[in-house]
Amino acid sequence: MTLAEIFPSVRVRAPGKINVFLQVGGLDDDGYHELATAFQAVSLYEDVVATYADDFTMAVNGSVPLEGVPVDDRNLALRAARLLAAETGYEGGVHLEVHKQVPVAGGMGGGSADAAAALVACDALWGTELPTGELHRLAARLGADVPFALMGGTAIGVGRGDRLSPALARGRFDWVLVTSEEGVSTPAVYGELDRHRERHRVDIGPVPAVPQVDADVLHALRAGDARMLASTLRNDLQAATLQMRPDLAPVLELGEREGALAGIVSGSGPTLAFLCGGPEEAIDLQVTMSAAGHVALHVHGPVPGARVVG
């Protein structure tokens, strides 16, 4: 009997995210920007199935275009598995099957969700049983959004966006996501923002030294009030993303005209997230956006972070 027969594989599900508030501060020496963000995990998931193997391999499938997703050590999920093995002294390997629903390079943290799911899956498969704080530390080493994919729910992130504290949130928020065939590069969007700020320094004033999430955002989340949240949505990356992808501006306008409370670029984009008054309004908007030729999905948040399923 092989190990794989004795021990079943482990399936872990991790959510994509929307930044309902993202204030970007200055560029630090390490190449990262200081952030203050409010994350909401939404019901669009990545599934990672981990199976015993002697070495580290992976395969990817899914419901979204997969061009550009590496299946070697450039993939964050495989790097997560290797990092956990190195940190715990585990000597075997793993085969990861990644099933993607979150758009690739879409600004929703899909790759980060894969990494978070891989950490949890390998930890369970190998029986390494790292404490939550240790997993979080490894997650932060892999990327700024990986800790939130582990944690899920609603959280405030500062520093690179990886220093998290949970935020109180009541009820459910309904969103329509409009995805794009082609992704955008997150570093390119941050670079565009830096150039934009440099060009318009006189008009836009100093970059916030210590970015902070507005109290109104926390209030809206705590109250479970979609209308209030809609009036506080903010993404400092949006102007840079729209500069690189001018085709998105009319889609944002269409969604807002057709019933969304507000629309926003998700993270560095190009996925657009439209906050709706409730499930029925979201279904109506999804139908309208689909009829206009867009790929539109109805999701809700908040949902839990990476966890073993099945």
Task: Return the residue of 11, 13, 17, 33 that touches ligand C5P, per CB under 6 A.
Answer: 33
Residue 6, both tokens: 């004795």
Provide the 8-state DSSP code for 304: B
Residue 72, both tokens: 């070697």
* Closer to ligand C5P by Cβ: residue 68 or 250: 68
Question: Within positions 144 to 173, which residues make up the interface with ligand C5P, using CB under 6 A?
Answer: 144-145, 160-161
How near is the Cβ of 33 to ligand C5P at its closest, in Å?
A: 4
Interior angle at CA 150, CA 149 and CA 154, nearest 5: 65
**What is the spatial distance between Cα 182 and Cα 179, in angstroms, rounded to a whole number?**
9
Provide the 8-state DSSP code for 211: -
264's enclosing H/E stretch is strand 262-265
Catalytic residue flag (residue 17): yes
Contact 24, 237 (CB under 8 A): yes
Question: Is residue 211 a contact residue for ligand C5P (CB under 6 A)?
Answer: no
Task: Return the residue of 5, 6, 29, 31 that touches ligand C5P, per CB under 6 A.
Answer: 31
Provide the 8-state DSSP code for 201: H
How near is the Cβ of 191 to ligand C5P at its closest, in Å?
A: 7
How near is the Cβ of 103 to ligand C5P at its closest, in Å?
A: 15
- Report whether the peptide linkage leading into residue 131 is cis, meaning its omega lies within 30 degrees of zero: no
* Closer to ligand C5P by Cβ: residue 161 or 255: 161
**What is the spatial distance between Cα 95 and Cα 85, in angstroms, rounded to a whole number?**
13
Query: Buried b vs exposed e over 189-200: b needs ≥16 C-beta within 10 Å?
Result: bbebbbeebeee
Q: Count the residues of the shown chain that bind ligand C5P, applying the rule CB under 6 A.
A: 12
With contacts defined by CB under 6 A, name the span among 63-71, 129-137, 143-151, 293-301 that binds ligand C5P. Answer: 143-151
Question: Is residue 143 a contact residue for ligand C5P (CB under 6 A)?
Answer: yes
Return the HEC string of 28-65.
Answer: CCCCCEEEEEEEEEEEEEEEEEEEEECCEEEEEEECCC
Question: Is residue 70 a contact residue for ligand C5P (CB under 6 A)?
Answer: no
Residue 245, both tokens: 């992808």
Task: Return the residue of 12, 20, 22, 35 that touches ligand C5P, per CB under 6 A.
Answer: 35
How near is the Cβ of 92 to ligand C5P at its closest, in Å?
A: 27
* Closer to ligand C5P by Cβ: residue 52 or 190: 190
How near is the Cβ of 162 to ligand C5P at its closest, in Å?
A: 8
Choose the catalytic residue: 47, 114, 123, 145: 145
How near is the Cβ of 75 to ligand C5P at its closest, in Å?
A: 13
**What is the spatial distance between Cα 149 and Cα 230, in angstroms, rounded to a whole number?**
23
- Side chain identity at residue 257, one-letter code: R
Catalytic residue flag (residue 194): no
Question: Is residue 190 a contact residue for ligand C5P (CB under 6 A)?
Answer: yes
Looking at the annotation, which residues are catalytic? 17, 145
User: Residues interacting with ligand C5P, by CB under 6 A?
Assistant: 31-33, 35, 143-145, 160-161, 186-187, 190
